[in-house]
Chain A
Amino acid sequence: MIIDQDKKNMRDTDVLFALILMVASIALIIYSLVISFEAMRVTDCAFYIAPGLPTLLIGFFLLVSAMILLVTARRQGGDLRWLSPKKFLVKFKSKEFWNTVIVFGYLFLYMIVLWERTPLLGIHIPFWLATFIFLNLMMLTFKATKFLNIIIISGITTFLVDFFFRTLARIPLP
């Protein structure tokens, strides 16, 4: 039987994800029971209105679904042998992987580090500066256009966004 590589990769990850889901749903079931009995003890309520009932049901169905996923993926040739350092090295070398990491990294920098009072830098960076830096970094890294154009585009965008949201829509941007 011929299975194409993409599908094989998909089933491999499915196996891993199914296992993670199963562990998570078992933890969820235990958690639901704990909070339900805690709530029943404190507020003296019946089980049918305990806060853990719906999460218990979700946990149960999630467990069943994860099992089905595991069985299906196994039948279609998924396994966990791909979790070897060698295969990871190949992945690390691919450009796509690094691009993904960089985009997430910039988003993290913009959304978490530069926004509001930054816990890491300890100083307050105004919104427009953070936006300006983010736009420049993103466009420079991916070589969107000429350097000067990038600065101009970033500047105009920053100004427009700041003007629209802060001045027109009266949103208190940091």
Chain B
Amino acid sequence: MSLLQSFLQISSDFLASSVSFFTLGNLVMMFAAVMVGITFGVLPGLSATIGIALFTGLTYGYSFEKALIILLGVYVGAIYGGSITAILINIPGTGSAAATCLDGYPLAMKGESSNANILARISSFIGTIFGMLIFLFLTPLMTKLALEFTSPEIFWLAIFGILICGSISAPDLPIKGWIAGLIGLLMGMVGQEDIQGWERLTFGVSNLITGIPFVPMTIAFFGIPQIVKSMRSAQFKIEAKKDRVTINIWSLIKKNFFNILRWGTIGIGIGAVPGVGENIAAWVAYDDAKRRHKRKQEFGTGVYEGVMAPETANNAAIGGAIIPLVSLGIPGSPPAAMLLGALMLHGIRPGPLLSIEHPQIIPQFAALLLWASVFLFICGLIITKPMVSILKVSQKILIPIIAVLCVVGVYAYNNNPFHLLLVFVFGVLGYFLNKMEYSSAPLILGLILGNLADSSFRRALFLHHGNLWYLINRPLSFIFFAACVLTILSQTKVMHHVKKMFVKK
């Protein structure tokens, strides 16, 4: 009974906030914010985190409500914007769009860039709405769940991600997927580690103490090879003939209804786990889509679900990431961490009491997310058409400009010229790996997960004095452990035999 009551209360608050948002000033502001966010997402190197950081300073003098409109608009826009660049030129505009490259770009090469773009847009829209709904109604439950993620659980989650590395196999030999993943993991090990404060593989370079940054590396491994390849042999061309949407979107959504729910859940779940974030969410969703698809082996050559899954998950992760932010004051992802700082600048300190003392805050956030996703849809519609037509310009003009944007983006990421050197060196490596048909995807995933897996593993052992039993003695950690074991088995012949036995019966 009280459950129903609170449900109705929240719904009516949400509706009230959504309606009261509807003023001309707010609409214009949100439109501008989402547009700026998309621009930040489109440009390689500029990410949601940087966008929010910038606008935190610029909106300092505004009222809290207005600042929040702008910041959430930028957040939602930026996470979506990365997909446009990923699809059109195979360079992820933000880290969270790296998984979208895998099938988005092949689709564009096939002349289906409009299809890919509209799928990315609709998936992002649905993802944001889904994340928003879960955030609105299930925050208390999700908070409890997020607190269940201690070091062993995070360790198994990371291992699960690493196993995915291998399954996003290379086009040539399967072993190459693993090797790329291992190289990525190794790159993730560079820098000062979390447990002993010891410097690993830095070779005395002080700029490497914080490790190899992930956003510049997406440019090094996706951007540089792409730039060199297209300049070298004039093969970069988007087929502009079929520049119209040629698929039935509704039937595609209907067909994938449960898949979308699952990808959204993956996004929210991973987004809500503190310190993991939307990048991993996109990869896990991509892998899930691939695993369950009838035509697995066609993934990577332009499958619609390969675009939908990561885009649904990374936008759903926004709702996920602000769940622990609002309910506990713990940000679930790097952009959410920036949002926390912004809230504090406006005199609001998120914590367990925030939603009790300000019961309006969750409906308010949710209403803004709703409007942001509506504007995402509109702005996306406005912005993709000109983007596609820009690509019709001769690539010999376009690629140098993209190169400039990539280089500036790398610098803008942390204002550190050392990263340019790093990107150049790894760009050369990336080019050769690319030529030998090592996929960049597992490498980037390994890089994201390396440090997380390492520190949570050794911390879990440290907590229990080296006793391995404690890695699997809690219900959630055991479930994740079992999932990892099943993943390994399903890739070997054992599972095949077991399946056969059942079929015979």
Binding site for B on A (CB under 8 A): 10, 13-14, 17, 21, 28, 31, 35, 39, 43, 45-46, 48-55, 58, 61-62, 65-66, 68-69, 72, 96, 99-100, 103-104, 107-108, 110-112, 115-116, 131, 134-135, 138-139, 142-145, 153, 157, 161, 165, 169-174
Whether A58 contacts B436 by the Cβ 8 Å rule is no
Whether the pair B200, A144 counts as a contact (CB closer than 8 A) is no
CA distance A146 to B187 in the complex (A): 43
A112 to B427, CA, bound (A): 13
Quick check: is B458 within 8 A (CB to CB) of the other chain? yes
Interface of A is mostly: helix
Within the complex, what minimum Cβ distance (angstroms) separates B195 from chain A?
5
Q: In the assembled complex, how far is the CB of residue A163 from the closest CB belonging to chain B, in whole angstroms?
A: 12
Q: How large is the interface on B (under 10, 10 to 19, 20 to 34, 35 or more residues)?
A: 35 or more
Inter-subunit contact A112/B420 (CB<8 Å):
yes
A144-B396, A161-B408 in contact; A65/B458 too (CB < 8 A)? no
Could you say which of B183, B198, B404 contacts A35, with CB atoms under 8 Å apart? Answer: B198
B175 contact from A28, A72, A165, Cβ within 8 A: A72
Question: Do the beta carbons of B182 and A13 come within 8 Å of each other?
Answer: no
Tell me the smallest distance from the CB of A34 to a CB of chain B, in Å.
Answer: 11
- A69-B175, A107-B424, A111-B424 given; name 20 further pairs at CB < 8 Å: A10-B172, A35-B200, A48-B458, A48-B461, A49-B462, A51-B195, A51-B196, A62-B183, A65-B175, A66-B179, A69-B173, A100-B228, A107-B227, A111-B420, A115-B411, A134-B404, A135-B404, A138-B399, A161-B408, A169-B54
A53 touches B458 (CB 8 A): yes
B: residues with CB less than 8 A from A are 46, 50, 54, 57, 172-173, 175-176, 178-179, 182-183, 185-186, 189, 193, 195-196, 198, 200-201, 224, 227-228, 231-233, 394, 396-397, 399-401, 403-405, 407-408, 411-412, 415, 417, 420-421, 423-424, 427-428, 431, 436-437, 450, 453-454, 457-458, 461-462, 465-466
Question: In the complex, how many angstroms separate the beta carbon of B484 from the nearest chain A beta carbon?
Answer: 15
Q: Tell me what chain B mostly uses at the interface: helix, strand, loop, or mixed.
A: helix
Q: Is the CB of B196 within 8 A of A65?
A: no
Distance of A44 from chain B, by nearest CB (Å): 11
Question: What B residues does A51 contact at CB under 8 A?
Answer: 193, 195-196, 198, 200
CA A173 to CA B407, docked complex, whole Å: 11
B411 adjacent to A134 (CB under 8 Å): no
Residue pair A112, B403 in contact (C-beta under 8 Å): no
Q: List 22 A-B contacts (CB under 8 A).
A: A14-B436, A17-B436, A39-B196, A39-B198, A51-B196, A54-B454, A58-B185, A65-B182, A99-B233, A100-B232, A100-B431, A103-B231, A107-B228, A107-B407, A110-B403, A111-B407, A111-B423, A115-B417, A138-B231, A139-B397, A142-B231, A144-B396
